[in-house]
C-alpha cells in the first residue's frame, strides 16, 4: 500500500513538471517574479494559468509550447501553476483551467484569450496585441479611440442574462439605465472606463430598462441608473445586492475590487522548510506574518493543529490585506528566529508568536 501511494505521488509530480520545463520557450511564472517579468516589462505577454491535474491543460500544453516557440523573440509566453500559486490566480480572477490572459499595452487590464486552443490561435492573438501596442506607440487610433469602438461593457437582456450573469462564476456589476436619463448619460463614460480597468476581475454589464422592463421589474428597479452587484458562483434573483458606492470610475473600481477581495480564497499558510518558501510567500506582499510554533515534542499534533487553525482563521479575517502567512517549528529555522531576535526552543507548549 505504501509503495502504491508513493507511486501515485511520483506520477502526480511527474505530471506537474511535465507540462512546461526548461526545454521549452514557456517561461515559468509565479508570485515571486510575475511583477518584474510581466507587469513592469515593455513586452507583450501571453500567460496561461493552469493546474497540473487538469485534462484540458494537458491537452493544450503541446499547442502552447508550439506557439511559444513560434513567438520566440516577438511575444513572451509564460505559465503559472495556479494550483500552487492560488493567490496570483485569484488576483486575476482565475476560476477555471486553463485560463489564458494577454498582457499588452495596459498591463493592469489584461484581456482574456477566447480564441482556438491551437498554436495558430495563440500566436495570432499575440500578434494582434503586438500590433495594437505598435500602433499605439505610432500614435494611431485604436478601435477604442473611435466614436464607436468595442466596449468592455456587456449588453444584457432577457436572452442572455441568465447564462452570462446568473449561471457564471464571475462577479458582476449591472447597470439598469434609461436612454433619456441625464444621470445615466453622466455615468456612461465612468462605467466604460471602470469596465476596462476591471477587465479580468469583475464584469460590468448594462440593461436598457425601458426595453427590457420585465428584467428591470424582476430586480426591483424604480429609478435610473440602478446598479446591482451579483457575487461569484451560481446565483438567482435574490443574490443581487445594491451598489452603494460613488459614481466615478475610481469609485466603481475601488468598490468592485473590495468585493472581489472578499470573494477571493483565504491566503495559504506555508511552513518554512527552506529560504525559498519564505521568499515566495513574502517577497511581493506589503507585510508577512511569521509565526514560530512550539516544537512537536512540546506540542503534539492536536496542539499544533489548534495553532494552525488560529492562523488560518486570522488569514481569512485579514484576506483583504493580501499578507503573506508562514510558520516554522521552533529550532527548525534558527536563522529566522535570530533575525526576529528570539529563540523559542523546547519547553514552551503553551506559547506561540506572530
**Catalytic residue, candidates 181, 282, 288, 303:** 181
Task: List, in sequence order, every beta strand (DSSP E) within the chain.
Answer: 27-29, 45-50, 76-81, 99-103, 111-112, 154-155, 172-177, 203-208, 226-230, 241-242, 269-271, 288-293, 324-329
184, 288, 303, 354: the catalytic one is 184
Residue keyed to cell 511581493: 284
- What are the DSSP E strand ranges found in 84-125? 99-103, 111-112
Report how far apart, in Å, the C-alpha atoms of 189 and of each of 141, 143, 157, 186, 262 are: 18, 16, 21, 7, 27
Catalytic one among 57, 288, 299, 303? 57
Taking residue 65's Cβ as centre, other Cβ atoms within 10 Å add up to: 20
The SS3 of residue 103 is: strand
What span, in angstroms and rounded, lies between the C-alpha atoms of 311 and 130?
Answer: 44
- CA–CA gap between residue 338 and residue 333 (Å, rounded): 9
288 carries an active-site annotation: no
DSSP label at 118?
A: S
**Does the annotation count 184 as an active-site position?**
yes
181 is catalytic: yes
Which of 79, 82, 89 minimizes the C-alpha distance to 22? Answer: 79
- Which residues are known catalytic residues? 54, 57, 181, 184
Amino acid at each position: 500500500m505504501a509503495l502504491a501511494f508513493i507511486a501515485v505521488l511520483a506520477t502526480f509530480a511527474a505530471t506537474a513538471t511535465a507540462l512546461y520545463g526548461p526545454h521549452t520557450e514557456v517561461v515559468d511564472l509565479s508570485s515571486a517574479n510575475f511583477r518584474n517579468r510581466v507587469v513592469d516589462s515593455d513586452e507583450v505577454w501571453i500567460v496561461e494559468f493552469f493546474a497540473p491535474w487538469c485534462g484540458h491543460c494537458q491537452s493544450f500544453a503541446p499547442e502552447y509550447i508550439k506557439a511559444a516557440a513560434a513567438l520566440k523573440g516577438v511575444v513572451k509566453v509564460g505559465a503559472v501553476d495556479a494550483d500552487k500559486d492560488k493567490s496570483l490566480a485569484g488576483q486575476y480572477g482565475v476560476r477555471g483551467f486553463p485560463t489564458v490572459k494577454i498582457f499588452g499595452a495596459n498591463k493592469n487590464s489584461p484581456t482574456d484569450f477566447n480564441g482556438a486552443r491551437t498554436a495558430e490561435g495563440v500566436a495570432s492573438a499575440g500578434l494582434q496585441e503586438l500590433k495594437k501596442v505598435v500602433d499605439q506607440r505610432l500614435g494611431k487610433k485604436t478601435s477604442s479611440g473611435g466614436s464607436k469602438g468595442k466596449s468592455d461593457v456587456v449588453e444584457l437582456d432577457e436572452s442572455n442574462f441568465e447564462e452570462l450573469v446568473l449561471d457564471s462564476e464571475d462577479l458582476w456589476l449591472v447597470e439598469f439605465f434609461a436612454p433619456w436619463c441625464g444621470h445615466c448619460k453622466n455615468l456612461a463614460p465612468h462605467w466604460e472606463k471602470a469596465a476596462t480597468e476591471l477587465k479580468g476581475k469583475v464584469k460590468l454589464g448594462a440593461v436598457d430598462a425601458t426595453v427590457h422592463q420585465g428584467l428591470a421589474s424582476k430586480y426591483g428597479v424604480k429609478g435610473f441608473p440602478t446598479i446591482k452587484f451579483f457575487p461569484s458562483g451560481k446565483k438567482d434573483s435574490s443574490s443581487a445586492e445594491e451598489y452603494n458606492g460613488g459614481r466615478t470610475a475610481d469609485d466603481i473600481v475601488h468598490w468592485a475590487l473590495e468585493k472581489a477581495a472578499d470573494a477571493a480564497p483565504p491566503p495559504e499558510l506555508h511552513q518554512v522548510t527552506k529560504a525559498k518558501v519564505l521568499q515566495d510567500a513574502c517577497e511581493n506582499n506589503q507585510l508577512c506574518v511569521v509565526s514560530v510554533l512550539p516544537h512537536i515534542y512540546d506540542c503534539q499534533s492536536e496542539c499544533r493543529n489548534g495553532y494552525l487553525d488560529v492562523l488560518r482563521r486570522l488569514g481569512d479575517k485579514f484576506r483583504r490585506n493580501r499578507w503573506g502567512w508562514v510558520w516554522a517549528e521552533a529550532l527548525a529555522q534558527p536563522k529566522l528566529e535570530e533575525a526576529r531576535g528570539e529563540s523559542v526552543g523546547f519547553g514552551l507548549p503553551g506559547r506561540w508568536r506572530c
